[in-house]
Structure 1
Amino acid sequence: MSAGHLQQRAVRGAAWTVVNTFVGIPVAFAVNLVVARVLGASDYGRLALLTALMEFVGALLTSGVATAVIQFGAKAHAAGRTADVARLLSQWQGFRLLVVMPVVATVVFLVADVPPQAMAVALVFGVVLPAALDGGAACLGIENKTADGAKIALVTTIATQAAVLVVALVVRTPDAVWATRLVVVGLAVGLCLFRVAPAYRVAVLRPILPRGLPPGFWAFAVPMGLAGVVSGLVSSRSEVFVMNWLAEPAELGIYALAFGLAVHAFAPAQALVGPLIPAISGLREVDEGAVEPAFRRVTRAGSTVVALILATGLAPLALLVPVLYGEEFAAASPVVLALGISAGFATVGGPVFAFVSARLSGKAILAANLVALVVDLGLAVLLIPGLGAWGAVIANAGGALTTLGILSGRELRALGLPVRIALRDALPAFIGAVCALGAYFGWVLLTGPVLLRAIGAGLVGAVLCVVLMRVMGSGLSAEDRGAVGRALPSSVGRVMGRVLGWMSGPD
């Protein structure tokens, strides 16, 4: 596979991932709102607990190994070593059947309170079937068919939410809703097999013992798995635990609401990281010289998208918090602004993870996350008693920026890229943050209907951001626009070319 081919597939995958995110988040939000109202607070809490438990167990058992499979597989596939990829996929399936499936099945059996028939269905379709077929999803990443993966994810999201809505309205129990999610997602796993190469499909359906894995596989997989668990603690859970211990319940509610809104605001931009991981691994295998330009292009693209989200959407979202959630959450409005800016900068640095992962630097990623967790917890314990939600904001930002700083510094040194060049590529994000602050504080002091002020803040922030990017010569380059245009259908590419031209510096 050539560098151009890898780039084209990565851009197409990123575009479809963004579409999936833009559609999936509103659908999931609406369905969850109905489910919460039907189940009530206590039952909805149980549903959240069951869901979080499954996610934690699954991540603990598979996240590092899955990442390693995609990294090693993408490198081998890009270099044309299809036999190595096929063997790796068979070994991955063996690991899932022999290790993951028994543990997850035990957890489901112990925690789910459903009738025997529902338990059998949940185990077969929610545990056994995914364990037997999940290699298809990994293979889409290995083959850089992330666009196909995003399309399947979109179909799965819609089907899952529709089934959940029906079961919630008819059965009205959290365990039934949880089992329904397991079943639909388990059935959807098999769809990936229809889009993978025939030789790889056969390998997925022929599991073997996970012995004789490539050199360095476990040395990368184990720290990556631990890094994933620690990263989850750094990103949100640690502050919540500390606030539950040291802060007032109202402060915890304000922080939780603000954090959730900030995460949703940047979900489309954060979704771009997934398609990058296999693409960068393949690129490093076939064209090492193209990695540094790819890093700069990803930074420019990510910072431009983040700038527009910050300038256009963050201030209106913060202004509307009291209207959407009630006056008791009015104090969350500036917290949303602060967490949103922090999340924006973390999103710009998100692709750094893909580049460091492509170097198989699992221990470095784990070390960075451990240092960040210490910073996060230290700031949280020190500041939350006195500052409440704002102490949690500072702790969260400190942890996220620590991870970003360590990994970015490591990657810039490896690429031989000066810090000033990287900061220049990331300049749009700083412009977007300034525009968001100006739009919020400019319109929050005015009187009048909140909705009109929010619309005005979004329009002013967007215009100001575009003007500043063009004046300062930041944003996308002509080559960046061309890369996106070549990866999209001609009709869409022409429209996107005009839109992207507004987000670019002068040619």
Structure 2
Amino acid sequence: MTRRTGETGGPAVEDRTKAKGGTARSMTITLVGNLFPPVVALASGPILAQSLGVDGRGAVAAATAPLGLAIALMTFGVPEAVSYAVARHPRLVRVAARNGAAIVVLAGLLATGAVFAAREWLSGGDLEIQKLMAVASLAVLPTLLLGVLRGIASGLQRWAMVAWEKVLASGLRLAVLIPLWLTGHLTPFTATVVLAVMPVMGALAYLTLPRRLPPAEPDTEGLASTRALTGYGLRLWIGTISGILLSRVDQTIMTPLSSAYELGLYVVAVNVSELPLVIHRAVRDVTFVTDASRSEDARLAAAARISTLICTVVALVLGGTMIWWLPLLFGEEFAPAVPIAWLLLVAVVISTPGSIAGAGLSARGRPGLRSIALVIACVLNIGLLVLLVPTYGAMGAAWATLLGYVVSSGLNQWFLKRLFGVSMLSFYGVRRTDLTILRGYAGSLVGGVTRRLRPRR
């Protein structure tokens, strides 16, 4: 059952005040970290395209795509399992780290071997791409181990380290690409090495982590054992894979179902509609750890309402203005993507409360229910894609996405209500307390910036 805390009066009120301030700071740091990679990607994309040309850029994409897929498939939910175990039992961090690392080492070696063995088929027989793919596959294991470090830091709520990892990985990638581009040394090989290796360099952010670990204690109950981590991770991993399919399978099967033209419109619409998710993901990531550490129904519902409110405002701004800037930015031929992006923005806003509810389920030890919701939504989404895309193209795919998000969101909230008694209605609307939290958050943010800018005497 839910571990509710915070009775009225006395030290509990003080604890809640401190918790709110810490949560707000954590979300700010996480938001900054989440914003950096897409900004760097926007800057590095044209550099790669102009330097390598269509064929070269395609070769690099073909070489690094199996790396990303292998990492997504072979984590087995271990980083999240480590984060969950550490958040609930901080003194078991060393046991969780050791067992989590052992699992991902085995998974990483298997994934590297699988990519290496399949490189001839994945490359379409192109010998140059096979060589690049072999180089990129060497980054699978260190990237998986980096995920364990991230899980430890997240579980200990060291959000500055997690943000620095993302800043370092993205910033170093751009810092290396630019000189290679300017000196004429940016080739498919060097680009592949940079894209594969630079994410691993984010591990520099965790150099001081070992000195900040809490005192150790023996894991007498097996709470952070290999079995416990694997059990939790696999239940979460099934949902993660379904979530990846739910958000990406439409782009994979749209061309055979419709046309490359419809896919081109849809990809642009997806890129625009996912902008509000940068904020939401920061709220979700922090909510997962804080709720695992100390479950509070009111705080979980407030996080859902506030995240939905912010995503709605961003979606309204984007939706109300994109009719002018989207064709200007992407070209007039992409103007038909505007109504598709509108529908996808609605889907993103609708999915927000359910995503926070899913984080709550995982934080309270029931990740399998979140996975069930995503699997059901994924199956529904694929069926709707096959039914709608041949006739309605990209707009049909947008409707399939919307309905899939409605189902997954509703199921997560329903599961949370059935098991933990959290009212589904509490995830919707805007309360006066929500506005107070936002106002206090904005005030603390402005105050913090002002203090840093104020000259020292």
Q: Is TM (by shorter chain) over 0.5?
A: yes
Which residue of structure 1 aligns with residue 199 of structure 2? 185
Q: 1:129 Cα shift? A: 4.7
Seen in structure 2, the aligned counterparts of structure 1 residues 311 and 130 have a Cα distance that, compared at 3 Å, is: closer
Q: Deviations over 1:462-502 (max 9, x none)?
A: xxxxxxxxxxx76823245446756x58444899xxxxxxx
Contact 1:47 1:178 in 2 (8 A): yes
Contact 1:234 1:399 in 2 (8 A): yes
Task: Please point out which of 240, 243, 251 is paired with 2:254.
Answer: 243
Which residue of structure 2 aligns with residue 69 of structure 1? 82
Contact 1:231 1:369 in 2 (8 A): yes
Seen in structure 2, the aligned counterparts of structure 1 residues 368 and 131 have a Cα distance that, compared at 3 Å, is: closer
CA distance in 2, matches of 1:356, 1:137: 21
Task: Please point out which of 290, 293, 299 is paired with 1:279.
Answer: 290
Output the TM-score relative to the length of structure 2.
Answer: 0.82
Task: Please point out which of 62, 77, 82 is paired with 1:49.
Answer: 62
CA distance in 2, matches of 1:389, 1:123: 33
Query: In the alignment, residue 223 of structure 1 is paired with which amino acid?
Result: R
Seen in structure 2, the aligned counterparts of structure 1 residues 332 and 120 have a Cα distance that, compared at 3 Å, is: closer
Which residue of structure 1 aligns with residue 9 of structure 2? none
**1:344 aligns to 2:349 (yes or no):** yes
Query: In the alignment, residue 405 of structure 1 is paired with which amino acid?
Result: G
**1:154 aligns to 2:167 (yes or no):** yes
Which residue of structure 2 aligns with residue 18 of structure 1? 31
Contact 2:288 2:360 in 1 (8 A): yes
Seen in structure 2, the aligned counterparts of structure 1 residues 307 and 366 have a Cα distance that, compared at 3 Å, is: closer
Query: In the alignment, residue 268 of structure 1 is paired with which amino acid?
Result: I
Aligned-partner SS, 1:47: helix
Which residue of structure 2 aligns with residue 421 of structure 1? 426
**1:334 aligns to 2:345 (yes or no):** no
Which residue of structure 2 aligns with residue 367 of structure 1? 372
Q: Deviations over 1:274-324 (max 9, x none)?
A: 22222211113xxxxxx1111122022202211220222332124322222
Output the TM-score relative to the length of structure 1.
Answer: 0.75
Alignment of 1:64-463 (within 5 A): 64-77=77-90, 82=91, 84-104=92-112, 107=115, 111=119, 126-127=139-140, 129-130=142-143, 135-168=148-181, 170-199=184-213, 213=225, 216-235=228-247, 237-284=248-295, 291-425=296-430
Query: In the alignment, residue 94 of structure 1 is paired with which amino acid?
Result: A
Seen in structure 2, the aligned counterparts of structure 1 residues 359 and 493 have a Cα distance that, compared at 3 Å, is: farther
Structure 2: gaps spanning 5 or more residues: 6-14, 453-457
CA distance in 2, matches of 1:245, 1:173: 32
Aligned-CA RMSD value: 3.4
Seen in structure 2, the aligned counterparts of structure 1 residues 156 and 242 have a Cα distance that, compared at 3 Å, is: closer
Seen in structure 2, the aligned counterparts of structure 1 residues 168 and 3 have a Cα distance that, compared at 3 Å, is: farther
Q: 1:145 Cα shift? A: 1.1
Q: 1:128 Cα shift? A: 5.5
CA distance in 1, matches of 2:263, 2:135: 38
Structure 1: gaps spanning 5 or more residues: 204-209, 285-290, 426-472, 496-507
What is the number of residues matched between the two proteins? 428
- Using the TM superposition, name which of 34-43 and 392-401 deviates more: 34-43
Which residue of structure 2 aligns with residue 437 of structure 1? none
CA distance in 1, matches of 2:129, 2:404: 44
Query: In the alignment, residue 378 of structure 1 is paired with which amino acid?
Result: G
Q: 1:92 Cα shift? A: 1.3
Which residue of structure 2 aligns with residue 287 of structure 1? none
Contact 1:167 1:180 in 2 (8 A): no
Query: In the alignment, residue 352 of structure 1 is paired with which amino acid?
Result: A
CA distance in 2, matches of 1:21, 1:217: 26
CA distance in 1, matches of 2:375, 2:349: 22
Contact 2:385 2:397 in 1 (8 A): yes
Which residue of structure 2 aligns with residue 452 of structure 1? none
CA distance in 1, matches of 2:346, 2:131: 48
Contact 2:64 2:133 in 1 (8 A): no
Contact 1:318 1:333 in 2 (8 A): yes
Aligned-partner SS, 1:388: helix
Query: In the alignment, residue 219 of structure 1 is paired with which amino acid?
Result: G
Alignment of 1:27-42 (within 5 A): 27-42=40-55
CA distance in 1, matches of 2:369, 2:162: 29
Aligned-partner SS, 1:264: coil
CA distance in 2, matches of 1:200, 1:420: 39
Q: Deviations over 1:47-66 (max 9, x none)?
A: 33333321221121114111
